[in-house]
């Protein structure tokens, strides 16, 4: 029981000192609840405002692709160098230690593989994601694909309705619909559709005119890396996206298929967080390599 005697009156109220910093640093989330903001803050570095997310969810679509044959050997050693690890529930439960300090983004939809038509029509239960202490749930939208657009928009829309009130952010991933031109108009439309339907973060692809994609999207935008490029080109891609207002990368193959994934993760972080140019990033890669 609390002591009843010697209750001391507070006398250090800072009277006259205004409360500072009430505006939240993550775009579009001033009015979000505390839990949702806290999860976002766990993913985005407070100093740079940016994030390096390491995507290793590819196996749910393509199996043990190059660099992901053994997640325990190839991916876990990269955890200290990135801000977020993004994977599927089965791989995370089986392979990522529960004391991993890097926050987890859960790939939360599934349905088909690369062997058939892309149609992610099952979404993970929000309670399961909460129980796994996920910092966000990521689902794909195939804007412009007439067979799967409606299902995937519904996935995001209904997940955001359930997840946001429980403090769980949702990341919308823009998969490129069949026959779509990969330009700023398309990615601007797809990104905006994600945000309007409730996404708290949008993951899309860099393209010429990307500043318009970012400006037209009211929540943070990160880019996917896409197919493996030479290291300098992948760093240029990251640099250009950040220069256009993106707040990070959710990159997979250009990190884990690099000749030195740990060096590449740190070089990308140099560009994303420390303002390195692509050339400086490559220098960092070469210094750390091997």
Residues classed as catalytic: 203
Residues 28-47 that bind ligand R5P (CB under 6 A): none
| Residue 53 binds to ligand R5P (criterion: CB under 6 A) | no
Q: Which stretch binds ligand R5P (CB under 6 A): 3-11, 50-58, 88-96, 210-218?
A: 50-58
| Residue 49 binds to ligand R5P (criterion: CB under 6 A) | no
Q: Which stretch binds ligand R5P (CB under 6 A): 30-38, 251-259, 264-272, 282-290?
A: 251-259
Site string for ligand R5P, 169-208 (x = CB under 6 A): ----x-----------------------------------
Question: Which of 55, 96, 156, 201 forms a contact with ligand R5P (CB under 6 A)?
Answer: 55
CB of 284 to ligand R5P, least distance (A): 20
Q: Residues with Cβ < 8 Å from 24, sequence gap 6 or more?
A: 30, 32, 37
| Residue 163 vs 251, nearer CB to ligand R5P | 251
| Residue 226 binds to ligand R5P (criterion: CB under 6 A) | yes
| Residue 33 vs 114, nearer CB to ligand R5P | 114
Residues 131-170 that bind ligand R5P (CB under 6 A): 140
Question: Which of 253, 265, 273, 281 forms a contact with ligand R5P (CB under 6 A)?
Answer: 253
How many residues sit in the footprint of ligand R5P (CB under 6 A)? Answer: 13
Contacting residues toward ligand R5P, per CB under 6 A: 55, 57-58, 140, 173, 224-226, 250-254
């Amino acid at each position: 029981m609390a002591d009843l005697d010697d209750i001391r009156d507070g006398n250090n109220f800072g009277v006259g000192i205004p409360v500072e910093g009430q505006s939240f640093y993550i775009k579009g989330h001033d009015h979000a609840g505390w839990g949702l903001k806290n999860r976002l803050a766990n993913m985005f570095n407070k100093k740079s405002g940016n994030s390096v997310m390491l995507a290793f969810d590819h196996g749910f679509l393509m199996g043990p692709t190059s660099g992901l044959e053994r997640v325990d050997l190839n991916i876990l050693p990269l955890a200290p160098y990135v801000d977020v690890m993004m994977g599927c529930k089965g791989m995370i439960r089986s392979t990522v230690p529960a004391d991993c300090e890097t926050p987890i983004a859960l790939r939360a939809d599934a349905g088909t593989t690369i062997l058939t038509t892309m149609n992610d029509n099952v979404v993970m239960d929000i309670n399961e994601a909460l129980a796994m202490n996920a910092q966000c749930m990521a689902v794909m939208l195939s804007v412009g694909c007439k067979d799967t657009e409606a299902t995937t928009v519904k996935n995001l829309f209904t997940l955001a309705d359930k997840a946001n009130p429980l403090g769980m952010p949702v990341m919308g991933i823009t998969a490129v619909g069949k026959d779509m031109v990969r330009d700023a108009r398309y990615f601007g439309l797809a990104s905006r559709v994600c945000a309007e339907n409730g996404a708290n973060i949008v993951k899309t692809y860099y393209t010429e005119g990307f500043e318009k994609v970012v400006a037209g999207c009211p929540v943070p935008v990160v880019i996917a890396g896409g197919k493996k490029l030479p290291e300098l080109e992948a760093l240029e891609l990251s640099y250009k996206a950040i220069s256009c207002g993106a707040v990070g990368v959710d990159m997979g193959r250009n990190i884990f298929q690099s000749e030195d994934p740990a060096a590449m993760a740190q070089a990308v972080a140099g560009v994303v967080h420390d303002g390195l140019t692509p050339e400086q990033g490559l220098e960092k890669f070469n210094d750390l390599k091997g």
